[in-house]
Amino acid sequence: MNNAPSNAARITASVALLAIAGVFLYAGISKISAPADFARAIELYRIVPRTPALVVALYLPWLEIGCAFAIFIRSLRAGALAFLAFCSAVFTVFIASALARGLDISCGCFGTGGSTGRAALLVSLARAALLALVCAWLLRRHMAQASGRAQL
C-alpha cells in the first residue's frame, strides 16, 4: 500500500517523459523541412534580426529532435530535460513579449500555418509554460533519483 503513491508518481513521470519527447520530436520534424518559414516566424517576434533567426531556424529543430531521443538515454536525460526546460522558458518569454506588444503573429512552435491572434498566442503561452514546468519537474525528479542511487 505504501508503494502506491510512488508507483503513481513513477507512472506519471513516465507518461510525462513520453509526452515531452513526442511534443519536441513533432516540433522539430515539423520545422526541419522549411527553415525559411521558421526563420520568418522567429523574425516576426521582432526580437532578433534575420541572420540570427536563420541560424536558430536551422539549428533548433535538430536540437529538439536530439533532445527528444536523448530523453530515453539515461546518461543524457538530465541534459536533454535541462535544455528543453530552458527552451520552453525562452519560448514563454518570447510569446509573452509578443502578447504584451500586441503582435498579431502565430507562435511558430510547430512550423508555419499556426493560428494567429491573441487567443492563439495565449494558448501557445500556456503550452510553453506548461512544457517548461513539466521539464523542470522531470529534471528535478531525475536528479533526485540519480543522487539517491549515488548514495547507495
- Note the residues at the interface with other proteins (CB under 8 A): 32, 35-36, 39-40, 43-44, 46, 51, 54-55, 58-59, 62-63, 65-67, 70, 75-76, 78-80, 82-83
Q: Give the span between the Cα atoms of 64 and 130, in whole angstroms.
A: 17
Specify the amino acid at residue 12. T
Closest contact distance (angstroms) between CB of 4 and other proteins is 31
Nearer to other proteins, 54 or 126 (CB): 54
Nearer to other proteins, 59 or 72 (CB): 59
- Smallest separation, CB 6 to other proteins (Å): 24
- 3-state DSSP call for residue 45? coil
Contact 70, 79 (CB under 8 A): yes
With respect to other proteins, which residue has the nearer C-beta, 84 or 109?
A: 84
CA distances from 77 to 23, 87, 125, 141, 146 (A): 16, 15, 25, 11, 11
To other proteins, the closest distance from the beta carbon of 124 in angstroms equals 19
Dihedral-angle region of residue 112 (phi above 0 means left; psi in -120 to 50 means alpha; beta otherwise): beta
**Taking the complex as a whole, how short is the minimal distance between the CB of residue 36 and other proteins, in angstroms?**
6
